[in-house]
Structure formats: structure tokens, C-alpha cells
Amino acid sequence: MRLSRDDPGLPLYHNENNRNQTLRRIRTRARFWFAQRSTGVKIGLLFLIGFLLFGLLKICSNAITTDVHQMAVPNQNQDPIIINEQIIGGKPENPKEDDERVNDDMAVEMDNRQSDAENSPAHKQAHRATGKSVKFNGPDNERQKAVVKAFQHAWLGYKKYAWGHDTLKPVSKSYSDWFDTGLTIVDGLDTALIMGLEEEAAEATEWIQNKLTFEKDRMVNFFECTIRVLGGMMSAFYLTGNEMFLEKSVDLGDRLLSAFKSPSPIPFSDVNLLKRTGTNPQWGSDSSLSEVTTVQLEYRAISRASGNSTYEDLSFNVSQHIHKIGCDHEGLCGMFINANTGTFKKGATITFGARSDSYYEYLFKQWIQTGKTIDWLKDDYGKAMAAMEKHLYRNSEPNKMFFIGELLSGETYSPKMDHLVCFIAGTLSQGSQNGFPRKHMDMAEKIGETCHNMYDNPTGLGPEIAHFNMIPGKEDLYVKPLDAHCLLRPEAIEGWFYLYRFTGNKKYQEWGWAAFQAIEKYARISTGGYSSISNVKKINVQYRDSMESFLLGETFKYLYLLLGDDQTVLPLDKWVFTTEGHPLPIYDH
């Protein structure tokens, strides 16, 4: 008789592999035993097994529900969470009366907030800055009209090939996304308003209202997203009074506040908009000085408009922290600061260019924005300008071009100046009109002229970086091949705008007009838009196929304002321009 493999009559299954023999024997004998039982016994056993399984599932379900409830409801017995001095959550003072207290407090808080907002200077300033009181009449001369046409040409190319995306690639008629927030639209909206371009402004407003969303699982740079997107929308709010811009700004501002969940008062450099988490940059734990100290104008504006001081408190705490720890070089700071420790990186370069520039700008502009009421901002700015003059301000040979160099590793002087540094001509000139020494205007005029000299090349466009000779017998200024590209930056034109406002010297208008003509000749793409170029020293230009959002947000805006006959538009005792060129109101406190 042949036995089957699972017959219990096979004591060891006659298998040469003895592994799992015990388990197989038990399983086979259980099947044999079950097969010998009557039908009634089988039904009873199946019912018992089903009942046991149901009970087990019920127990597991209750455990999961309890865990989910505990996660959804914060533990009120825990200590409050503190993020850079801001208290979030924590145990209520009287748990038994918590519900009643919360309801009462919310009602009182809403009433108080509404009353305070209506009576606050910030609220009144917001209404003074709406479209009801800020009227723009459009261009008043042929040069301004030309700039308006250039803006429209850039807008048309962007609308045709990149609408809703961050930036236009005009040569390939495509687009690129950095934050996926329609940077060009938001950054350029207030320029369209100032130029009186109702159609373009309406298109931008409609897109922001109906299409712009921040529910995106995307990492963005805290600083760049603040100055371009948040700053652009807050400027549009103050220029039009449209509450939609404020609502969008609050949504974005709440997400960006995740940057302040760092171990120190220094915010993280990057934020995930959807997850609302902050992190250090991929290349290390250091944040750029300019990035963490150039968001305060924007967050103060949103706090004053919304009535929520958290934005202003957290951002201004960064400035207070820098003021408290101080800078090693008599008010000049290194370019990197650690978000984990809140301390400066040792041996970092000291510069007024990339990674440091707007720290000094916002020391002064915060003082202006707050009605000149915070003395230490003024003092720190004055101290920094004195140290800049002592350690960085030099002149070339043989023609005495004045420039601001750098201290490499905080020690070795380098006669290198970024195009970005040209902003200081505007800041120094404005400072001279607000109590700082007359020599600040002299320095501003000399730096403004050097920035003009940077445009003295075959294309008439400004390079990204220039180097200066300090030894007689050579040319004053030279541009290295890797520094010769031009992104159509605004800083030189920005400086000339301020200088013209305060001096009335028409040479600054001529310099701006010449720069605009060079943009038209060498950067304009016939099918729409303008492109950065690879080398300002070559007339046969090579395009980089990129139109930065700041071309519309700053460069064309400052050109338009510089070239106008009416220099009372956006008076500088009522408005302060952010580092991205967005005008915000000045407060009295």
C-alpha cells in the first residue's frame, strides 16, 4: 500500500531533510483528527474560532481609537512648548473652567483685536496706503513710456510661455519653477500698479486670488520666498486695500514661521510649505547673515495689518539677537551664522555683497519703518558704516574709483565688489537725509559713480562682479570671465534712483536711461521677455535663457521711478522700499 505524503502513518515522512518535522507532524495529525469528528462538532469548533477572532479584533480596534484620540487632543498636562520665546500650548490654569474661559477669552480677544486694529496707527496707515488714497497716473514722459512698454513686453512673454510658473525661459519659450508660487506674477504686481497698468494688474490679482496656493509639498528658501512672495503681496495690499492679499499673506506667513522652530533665535534657511517644517540648507548648518536679517520689514507689515504680533516679534527677535551678541569687526559681521547655536561662524568673509548686503540695509530701513523710534538700530547702522569706511572703503588707481571691498576670512583685504553692493549708494544717501553725516552722501555719490563705471563695457550692461586695481600702472577696473555675466540686476539703478531723489542731479537719469537702452539692445527677446546674458564684454551675446522675477519687481520699477518727471510718487518719508523693491508704509512706532 502506497501512503500519501501527509498520512499520519508516516512516522517521520521518510524525508531525508529532517527540518520542521515536528511542526509538520502536528499539522498533519490535527487535520486527521478534525476529519474524524462529526459534523456537529466541526460546526461548534468553527463557531468558537470565529468568536475568538471577533473578540481579538474588537480589542485591537479600541486600542487604536484611544491612541488616535490621544494624538488628536494635546496633553494639557504637558509643559507649554516655547519656540523662541513664543508660548504654544501647555496646561491651562484652571482645567475645570477651561471651556467657559476659552469661549469668554475668544470673544473678548476678538473684540479687543478688532478695536485695537481699528484704532491703531498701523491700521490707519494701512487705510492711508490703499488705492483710495494712492493714485498712480501712469507715465509722464517718453522715457517712462518706453520702460512701461518694456515691462509689457516682459509680461507678454511670461504670459505666453510661463504663466503661473515662477520664471520665464524666453529663448526656449519655456519656464522654470523654483518655489512653484508664480514668482514673476507676485513680484511684478506692484510695479504694474505703480505704472498704471490696469489690465496686467487685474490679471495678476485674478491669478493670485483663484490659482495661488501654498498647499505644496515643496521646500522653499525662507528669505527669498519672504521678500518676493510675501513682500509682493503685502505691498499690493497696502497699495490697493484688497483684503485678499492680506489673507494670502497670512496663510504664507504662518507656513514660513516654521523656520523659527530652530534651537536658537536664528531661523532655519528652508521651509516645507505643506508640512510646515524648517531645516538647515543642504550644504551645512549655517544660514546666510542677509537671509535671516532681511525679512523684518515684511513681517512687521503683516503684523501691523493683521493685528497678530507674532510675525513681528519672531523676526525682530533675530535682529535683537544679532545686536546682543555683536559683531567682531567694530560692527561688521561675518557672512554666516548658525541656526543651531545662534553664533557666527569663525573666520567668515566680511562683505557688503552676497550673503551679507541687506543686513546693513535693514538696520537702517527698520529704523525708518518704525518711525525712528528704536535707537539701537540707528546706532548699529552708524557703527557699521563707520567700520565699513575704515576697513573696506578704498579707491582704485590711477583714477580713484571708490569701492567697497571684502575681508576674506575676516582678515585679508580683497578689492572685489559685487554688483549687489551698489545698493549702499541708495542707503547712504537716504541716511544723509535722516541725521547721518554729510560725508555719507559724498560716499554714496562716489560709489554710485563707480557702479556707473562698471557699465562701461561693450554692451553697456553691468557685470555680476568687478575687481579693482590699487597699484598704479594698470586699469582701475577689470572683470574676470567667470564674473562677466549679467542677470539684469537692479542695484545700480536703485542707487541712482535714491541719489536723484536727494540731489536732483540729472546725470543719474542719464545713467539709468543708458542702462535701459543696453537692456533693450542686448537682452530683449523678440518673441517676448528679456534674457540674462553670459558676458557683458562680448557684443555677440550668449543668452542664459532666464528672466529673473526681479527684472519686473525691481529693475523696471526703479527705472520707471528714476526717469519720471514727478518725483513725489511714493515719497520716501511715507514709504520704505524692501530689499526686493516693494514699497511698504512707514509707521510712527
Angle at 19 between CA 15 and CA 22, to 5 degrees: 90
DSSP state of 529: -
pLDDT surpassing 60 at residue 41:
yes
- CATH of 142-585, picked from 3.30.565.10, 3.30.70.1400, 1.50.10.10, 3.40.630.10, is 1.50.10.10
Rounded Cα distance, 406 and 191, in Å? 33
Active site residue 379: no
Measured between its terminal Cα atoms, the distance across the chain in Å is: 105
* Cβ atoms 285, 339 nearer than 8 A: yes
pLDDT surpassing 50 at residue 127:
no
pLDDT surpassing 60 at residue 589:
yes
Active site residue 243: no
Candidate list 177, 180, 203, 224, residue with the active-site label: 224
**Residue 130 assigned ligand-binding role:** no
Using CA atoms, how far residue 145 sits from 113, 150, 300, 549, 570, in Å, is 44, 9, 34, 21, 18
The three cell numbers of residue 341 are: 547655536
Candidate list 491, 494, 554, 580, residue with the active-site label: 491
Helix axes 491-503, 507-522, angle to 10 degrees: 150
Angle at 196 between CA 520 and CA 517, to 5 degrees: 15
Buried b (16+ CB within 10 A) or exposed e, 543-578: bbbbbbbbbbbbbbbbbbbbbbeeeebbebeebbbb
Main-chain phi, psi angles of 280, to 5 degrees? -70, 160
Beta bridge partners of 533: 486, 543
pLDDT surpassing 70 at residue 568:
yes
Using only C-alpha atoms, the chain has a radius of gyration, in whole angstroms, of 32
Candidate list 166, 406, 449, 464, residue with the active-site label: 464
Candidate list 270, 357, 445, 494, residue with the active-site label: 357
Using CA atoms, how far residue 209 sits from 221, 249, 257, 301, 427, in Å, is 23, 11, 22, 20, 34
Active site residue 491: yes
pLDDT, position 62: 53
Sequence ranges of the domains in the chain = 142-585
* Cβ atoms 493, 512 nearer than 8 A: yes
Residue range 88-99: average pLDDT? 38
Strands 402-404 and 286-288: unpaired
Amino acid at 249: S
The pLDDT tens digits for 264-314 are 999 999 999 999 999 998 878 899 999 999 999 999 999 999 999 999 999
pLDDT, position 57: 66
Residue range 461-474: average pLDDT? 95
Contacts of residue 131, Cβ cutoff 8 Å, sequence gap at least 6 = 239, 240, 241, 242
